[in-house]
Structure 1
């Protein structure tokens, strides 16, 4: 572990700070979700535009992970995180003054650049401090961040003034405070040469993790594709099932994220194989219930399927991390985590855009939700087959 800088934060405080930053970044990415309906009414755009605005974030994250993902291994975690926080603040300012779809697109791209830069660095820094607790924090933060961001946004929209601005101002203040925390934190790695060379886009994996990573990719893709669908089109689907308030729409991602995070906590001591099987089983059952609920227009059933999807997200993602991370050396952590998150954000963005086109051109929102659920079930079955094959190939 590096000792650059005389940090004033204890390791426990630094770990909490880093986890809170990951939560804040994911909360910022989820905050626009309840607002898409308001934006759509004001600026008259289609569900395709909604999913494109949602998905350009994922594209920007991917581009940044491919280039900046390994940078913190060379220059240190703190400089990368400080720049990422500054860029995220710029994105939030653009959201505050957004007056049309072009501004939304720019804000989401800038937000994606910030998230891509931060993801590998903050995740690796938590592992630097404590590998076991860092792995747990990496698994639990996405659910907490996504859920709280959407619900906070919905509550502020419903009960306080300036509905399209206030949530971004709140997040901006939180990020400023966290930036001060990073300044006070001790650097966790010793910087090394090769920073410019690390910016060249390349996908490289240590030989020790290749087989394990390939085995978990279908699960990672499936659970993040599910999160992307609920984030982009879930609120509209709930409104189609029943005429309800925007708070219920925000509650959608909150339930998904909260259940996912609780699952991570409850199963934190479970073996990776157990987690993966639990995640796959919950995904399949949750999507079957979602299929039936959409056909029967049952909102309670839809939320049950949503909650099981949250179990699948939490267990599947945590199991993937537990499968891969123990095999990674310290100097490879940021690059391997970045590669894992590349798969996450491909799943997060690409299927969602496809779903947007299906909503407009192939049968509407309920039919698209059914088709999406079937696709998730098929991915989960592929993951189950892959898991059984890898277990057979390496029984230990």
Structure 2
């Protein structure tokens, strides 16, 4: 009697794994779809670089606030209700983008999108782990980068070569989102739920004593990595157009997609390495990649820009994937939620605030000069962590 039921159980759980993986990739793709359009939005709505970065950063702030309050709610009320809510938010954001006629409407769309993403990422990630504990961590490591790559590349392609440049990519993604809502009806619930939902919505942000020195050492390179991502997803397409004269959204979107493709590859390249070794290597590669990218800006050479971006992406992805592997084991089980929240606050502030500063500086310095200063800051931060990690490795060789 057990043999006939086993395939059904396997099919049900594997179906949810695939659905959750594709759902997380879709949400990530939606979040990066506006990036290749920012230069076009600047021209259509007469937006300054500062306004573009504020629009971008409003997404990050909304995402962070939602993660801290609703990120763990699916453990208490189930995965499916939160997935449905996230997809509704995502669909609403896409519709606002399609109707947008001003910077204010773009910001509203990004805020709604950030809320949807803040619900979707932890919920889809938990569902993947529920149904595939062996491969779940690896799948969760690549969903964000893979989706960001697909979103920027698809948007850049459609904006450059298809009609309705400010609508078509959102129409396509809205269709995918609606399909996800319909398919959810056929997916199993993977979390039984439990009491305590209201208490779970209170943010807990704390750094255990045992993790403080390590967090201090990795903070500079963590900030550097997230700041790099923030610049690419907000201002990089405009920088490509200004520095190289290639104004096609496809080129700008392709540069950003290269960062995310390289970051995805880094997860597979470094996954068998020890976390401390990966972090050290990632910091070196990040420094080299940013330096080459700045040379590309100076030479006004898009090929060198692509090369530097590909190198930087290896560092960006490896740093992102390994800091939590280093941090979380330092906290006791009851302290990990607070430590994870503290990591999110630091990371998303680094994602948004430097990009806003760059947007504010660009009118005075010029975007190319702003990029030199910004890139120099990233190199300096990565070098600080590189030195701190080297000193720590020398003091505790057994941990490396």
The TM-score, its normalising length taken from structure 2, stands at 0.89
Distance 1:331 1:80 in 2: 24
Equivalent runs, 1:301-340 vs 2, <5 Å: 301-324=304-327, 339-340=342-343
Q: Give the superposition deviation at 1:7.
A: 8.1
Cα distance in 2, alignment partners of residues 129 and 76 from structure 1: 14
Larger radius of gyration: 2
Counterparts of 2:304 and 2:17 in 1: how far apart (Å)?
A: 38
Structure 1 stretch displaced more, 101-110 or 202-211: 202-211
Distance 1:188 1:332, change over 3 A: farther
Supply the distance in 2 between the matched residues of 1:384 and 1:132 (Cα, whole angstroms). Answer: 32
Distance 1:219 1:74 in 2: 35
SS of structure 1 residue aligned to 2:398: coil
Residues 144 and 257, structure 1, Cα contact 8 Å, conserved in 2: yes
Is 1:201–2:192 an aligned residue pair?
Answer: no
* Distance change >3 Å, CA 22–CA 195, structure 1 → 2: same
Match of 2:303 among 291, 300, 305: 300
* Structure 2 residues without counterparts, runs of 5 or longer: 1-7
Q: CA RMSD in A?
A: 2.6
- Structure 1 residues 283 and 373, CA, compared in 2 at 3 Å: closer, same or farther? same
Distance 1:170 1:305 in 2: 31
> Are the aligned partners of 1:148 and 1:254 in contact in 2 as well (CA < 8 Å)?
yes
2:35 corresponds, among 33, 36, 54, to: 33
Query: TM-score, structure 1 length as denominator?
Result: 0.89
Question: Given the superposition, is the C-alpha separation of residues 390 and 96 from structure 1 closer, same or farther in structure 2, using an over 3 Å criterion?
Answer: same
Q: Out of 235, 238, 244, which is 1:233 matched to?
A: 235
Equivalent pair of 1:282/1:309 in contact (CA under 8 Å):
yes
What residue number does 1:385 align with? 387
- Structure 1: tracts of 5 or more residues without a match: 1-5
**Alpha carbons of structure 1 residues 181 and 324: separation in structure 2 relative to 1, 3 Å:** farther
Judged with a 3 Å threshold, the aligned counterparts in structure 2 of structure 1 residues 122 and 383 are, in CA distance, closer, same or farther, namely: farther
The aligned counterpart of 1:273 is 276
Q: Which has the higher contact order (CA 8 A, sep 6+)?
A: 1
Give the number of aligned pairs: 390
Q: Please, which of 58, 74, 78 is the counterpart of residue 72 of structure 1?
A: 74
Deviations 1:118-140 (A, max 9, x none): 22222233233344522222221
SS of equivalent residue, structure 1 residue 358: helix
Counterparts in 2 of 1:68 and 1:46: CA distance versus 1, 3 Å: same
